[in-house]
């Protein structure tokens, strides 16, 4: 695997980390009915229970080294859901709260998400520097040959 493809895989993984962390941060307060409550709240006047969207399901990035195969090198990142995906939170004013006043809140740890953003930032910088150093080396080699 070439230096550029290794660095590019790192850039791609860092970009995915930023996207997932941003989504988790933006949706950290997107609550919904507890799954045990069946997704319905109090019935309306017509006797029909309204349905509400489920709570946001937070995501995580799993990044592993591509160390196997005939040309090892680089990294691979995949997205999966956080487990457990929600925690019970008290919000009796929510229309979808259960009889105990609980709703499902996404299991998002904002501290961890901001740490992911910082990690992704420095990973992106490091991989961009590798590409820059490679390009400068190539330019130098071309100057020597002429």
Q: Tell me how many helices (H) and strands (E) the chain has.
A: 2, 4
Distances in whole angstroms, Cα of residue 105 to Cα of each of 48, 58, 74, 113: 25, 10, 36, 16
Helix or strand (DSSP H, E) at 9: helix 3-26
Q: What phi-psi label fits residue 32: left (phi over 0), alpha (psi between -120 and 50 degrees) or beta?
A: beta
Instruction: Spell out the residues 6+ positions from residue 19 whose beta carbon is closer than 8 angstroms to its own.
Output: none
**Per residue of the chain (146 residues), what is the pLDDT tens digit?**
688 999 999 999 999 999 999 999 999 999 999 986 444 444 444 445 578 999 999 999 999 988 776 667 889 999 999 999 999 999 999 999 999 999 999 999 999 999 999 999 999 999 999 999 999 988 887 777 65
pLDDT at 66: 85
Give the predicted TM-score (pTM) of the model. 0.81
């Amino acid at each position: 695997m070439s230096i550029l493809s290794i660095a590019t895989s790192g850039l791609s993984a860092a970009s995915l980390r930023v996207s997932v962390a941003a989504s988790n941060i933006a949706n950290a307060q997107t609550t919904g009915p507890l799954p045990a409550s069946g997704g319905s709240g109090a019935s309306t006047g017509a006797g029909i229970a309204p349905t509400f969207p489920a709570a946001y399901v937070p995501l995580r990035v799993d990044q592993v080294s591509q160390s196997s195969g005939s040309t090892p090198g680089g990294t691979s990142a995949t997205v999966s859901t956080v487990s457990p995906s929600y925690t019970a939170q008290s919000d009796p004013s929510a229309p979808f709260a259960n009889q105990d006043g609980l709703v499902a809140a996404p299991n998002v740890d904002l501290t961890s998400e901001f740490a992911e953003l910082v990690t992704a930032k420095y990973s992106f910088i490091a991989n961009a520097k590798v590409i820059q150093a490679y390009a400068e080396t190539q330019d130098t080699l071309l100057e020597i040959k002429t």
